[in-house]
Structure formats: structure tokens, C-alpha cells
Structure 1
Amino acid sequence: MPTPFAKSDTVPYDDLEVEKRERVNHVAKRLGTALRKTVKNKRKAKIAIGGNGLGKLMQVKIGKLQKYYTRAIRSSDSVDGMRKSIWASYKHCASTNQHSQHEDCP
């Protein structure tokens, strides 16, 4: 299983190695915070993300996106695999009966 830490390849100092680590949960939390903030700002402007009613971006959907995002990062062994998994989770959540987007789902 891949580690939940990412190592930076930059070397800012010649004689000292610095290892930067970001927790996956922290990154997922930032995603959720950004989505909630966007929904709040759009609501003030009287704009509903995802339309009105069914399919609207709400707290439950944001929680699912965070969970899928975390799984995509942890289960991927490469950046391309991670990107593909993240987009697959987004398309899965945005899919409807009229416009199915499950081609990237595992």
C-alpha cells in the first residue's frame, strides 16, 4: 500500500535535505473546504451549483467527493493513475441517468 505522504523532489539547500510531507486527509479537507466555500459564495449570488433540486451540490455530495478523492490518492501508484482515479470519481458523481459518465469507473 502506498504511503499517505508525498516527498518533494526540490532541493532548496546544497548541504541539507528537506523532506516535505503532506497528509492525504489534509488535502481532502482542503478540497471539501474549497467546495463548501464555493457553494456558499454562489448561494449568495443566487446560483445553485448543479442546478436546483436533484443533483445539486450539497454537504452529503461534498463528503462523498472527499472520500473518493482520498481513496484515489491512496490507491494510486503514479501521478497519472491518481489523476485518472480522481477524474473517474468526479465523473461518477456527476453522472445522471440521461448522461451516464461511468466509462472511467473501475
Structure 2
Amino acid sequence: MSNQFPSPARPKSVIVRDDGGPDVSIVTNEPTVGITILTDKDLTDGKTATDLSHLVKAIVKDCARVEPGNPVAAVLGFNGPYTVPDETGHPRRYMTAELSVAGEELA
């Protein structure tokens, strides 16, 4: 876990950032997460980044369920993926998800 982009760059990277959000109750909050997809330069004009971003979007939108160890109670909203210019010229996509997250009982 780090707050830095991978260096050296990897062929494909998914970076998830917790932007926080409001507390809804003593045990739930609604954070927004920013998700950045980075891929190597390719000859498909970013198709690899777009395809990976759609896969990540599907996984996040389907992650809410009641099961041990899963804090995500609901996916409240999703924006993107958007094409974002990258100073290195590598394909980059960005999206955000608004989640409802439940806390755990303290022991």
C-alpha cells in the first residue's frame, strides 16, 4: 500500500484512492473512491486501458453483498470511466464510485 504511483511503471495498474465521505450513522459511511487505470502505450489507442476500466467498473458495481469481511453494503453511484490526459503519454482512465460501507463490531 502506498500513496505513490508505481515506479517503475507496470504494464497495467489499477490505483484506488479513498476520498472519504459523510458518516451516515455510527456504523456506516458513504465514501467516494477514485479509481485510476494506467496501461503501457499501445497501438490500439488506449483500448487496453478502456477494456480494463470496464472490467474494474463491473467488479466494483457488483461488490456489494452481505458476507463476512465485505464492508460494502451498496454501490450508490458510479461515474466514468473517462479518458484523462497523462503527462507520460500512456493511456489513463479515471472513474469514481460512491459506496455505502458498514463498520465492524469492536472486540
Q: Compute the TM-score of the two structures, normalised by the length of structure 2.
A: 0.32
Report the structure number with the largest CA radius of gyration: 1
Task: Name the structure with the higher strand share.
Answer: 2
Structure number with higher helix proportion = 1
Question: Which structure is richer in relative contact order (CA contacts within 8 A, separation 6 or more)?
Answer: 2
